[in-house]
Amino acid sequence: MELTFFNLSLALAILALVLLSGIWISIGLAGLGLALLYFFLPASLFRIVETIQYEVVNDFVLAAIPLFIFMGSLLLKGNIATKIYQGLSPLMSRLPGGLVQTNITSCAIFGACSGSSLAGAATMGTLAVNELRDRGYDRSLIYGSLAAGGTLATMIPPSILFILYGSFAGQSISTLFIAGLVPALILVLAFMAYVALLSLRHPPKNTDRDKLPWRQTLAAMKLLIAPLTLIGAVLGSIYTGFATPTESAAVGSMGALLILALERRLSLGTIHEAAVMSIRTTCMIALMMIGAHIISTALSFMMVPQQISQMILALEMEPWHIALIVGLLFIALGCLIEGTSMFFLTFPIIYPLMMSLGFDPIWFGVMMALFIEMSLITPPVGLNLFIINQVAGERGMSRTIRGSLPFFFIMVLVMCLLIAFPGIVLFLPNLL
């Protein structure tokens, strides 16, 4: 059907109401999509809804989601995060910033094991907050480094976001995993550089005991063998072409079971808890996927993305201007909406728009991961801020927000860098 300005405005207005209603995003998206299909399309096309639910989840790639969640849950229940932190602490304490550097690097490694930003922030926060406060580190820096470090799991493979994006966009999951490596490394190094510069300017007190002799440092690093081997097995099997992302997720789950068995931490209770967590999270994601596909189908028939694309093309803007505007839009939305919900809510409109304007789908997938990372530490609904604040037992949010803001601005700078030089994202995929 031909889309009128009234229909376009009505669709966007209802979408805005979904944002403000407080109902489940999955239910809101599905309800809005069904309403649009019913009122704006011929009755014969409405029956397409009958096949959407099956077609959405009937994808072999999506089997990687519960398997990666199961792997991360096992490692979380098996206390592997403690070993990661203890293994990195002696080495990182030699850098300016000391154990705050451990917060960032341990979150990055645990993110590569679990794929969960929230789990990384909560787990590392529990391990680090009290210890670092007792040793005289600045509280705002402690909280900010943990909140920002926790976000890295969204970019670092095996990222659940990349699996979802690849399924929706029809892109290679392996390529997305490869594309996320360099931007993730840039973020880690930028966070560490900020901590180092701040610590050189304002050295923390009473941190000399953090530094251990090299013999003890190397001995502690043996604790990293198991998690790094697991990461190498999962990612190595993908990058070498030995396994698909779904098969590598199965490898990761079996590897996590083996690690816990060798360390005598495996029990039926642990397996049951990890399985329940995996099922609950997967069901939530599946509901969101179905809702997003229903509204995406409706908007496609109504030509909403195409109409918006024509409006933007008529403005004759440079591509980087458009990318910057989209980035600012996501920053604003991230202040109001949880990251995963923001992805499902915006994908049906933003992705077709960006593709019609000539942007690379792999590059945009990495940018989407960065937008969701930023949403995790932007008040008032940044989930990592709430997690770290709760772990720290702070009464107000001001100290946590103040500590996270510099890391947020670092992410904004990285966003501008990736917009100006998209080859940073595409270099490895093109090479491999």
Residue-level pLDDT at 296: 78
Residue-level pLDDT at 1: 44
Q: Would residue 166 count as lying in a domain? A: yes
pLDDT averaged over the chain? 83
Average pLDDT over residues 106-123: 82
Identity of the highest mean pLDDT range in 61-70, 214-223, 291-300 = 61-70
pTM of the model: 0.86
Long-range contacts of 216-221 (CB under 8 A, 24+ apart): 216/90, 217/90, 217/91, 217/94, 220/86, 220/87, 220/89, 220/90, 220/91, 221/87, 221/88, 221/90, 221/91
Kindly write down the DSSP assignment for every residue of 143-182, as one continuous string: HHHHHHHHHGGGTSSS-HHHHHHHHHHT--HHHHHHHTHH
197: pLDDT strictly greater than 60: yes
What's the pLDDT band for 19 if we cut at 50, 70, 90?
low
Average pLDDT over residues 412-420: 95
Give the domain range for residue 302: 42-431
2: pLDDT strictly greater than 50: no
Identity of the highest mean pLDDT range in 3-12, 42-51, 163-172, 300-309 = 163-172
5: pLDDT strictly greater than 70: no
Residue-level pLDDT at 12: 63
Instruction: Provide the number of structural domains found in the chain.
Output: 1
**With 0-12 CB in 10 A as exposed, 13-18 as middle and 19+ as buried, what is 27?**
middle
Residues 6+ apart with CB under 8 A from 152: 104, 107, 108, 111, 117, 120, 184, 187, 188, 373
User: Looking at this protein, which amino acid is placed at residue 261?
Assistant: A
Q: Would residue 64 count as lying in a domain? A: yes
Residue-level pLDDT at 178: 92
Q: Would residue 407 count as lying in a domain? A: yes
Residue 16 φ then ψ, to 5°: -65, -35
Q: Would residue 25 count as lying in a domain? A: no
Per-residue DSSP letter, 3:
P
Identity of the highest mean pLDDT range in 118-132, 197-211, 329-343, 412-426 = 412-426
**Can you list the positions of beta strands (E) in 174-300?**
none
- Spatial distance between the Cα atoms of 199 and 203, rounded to a whole number of angstroms: 5
Q: Would residue 33 count as lying in a domain? A: no
- CA separation, residue 222 to residues 39, 85, 91 (Å): 63, 12, 12
The answer to which of 120-124, 301-305, 341-345, 385-389 has the lowest mean pLDDT is 301-305
Q: What is the pLDDT of residues 237-277, one digit of tens each?
A: 888 878 888 888 898 889 889 988 888 888 888 889 888 88
- Spatial distance between the Cα atoms of 419 and 322, rounded to a whole number of angstroms: 10
Q: Would residue 142 count as lying in a domain? A: yes
Q: Would residue 1 count as lying in a domain? A: no
- Spatial distance between the Cα atoms of 4 and 398, rounded to a whole number of angstroms: 46
Q: Would residue 30 count as lying in a domain? A: no
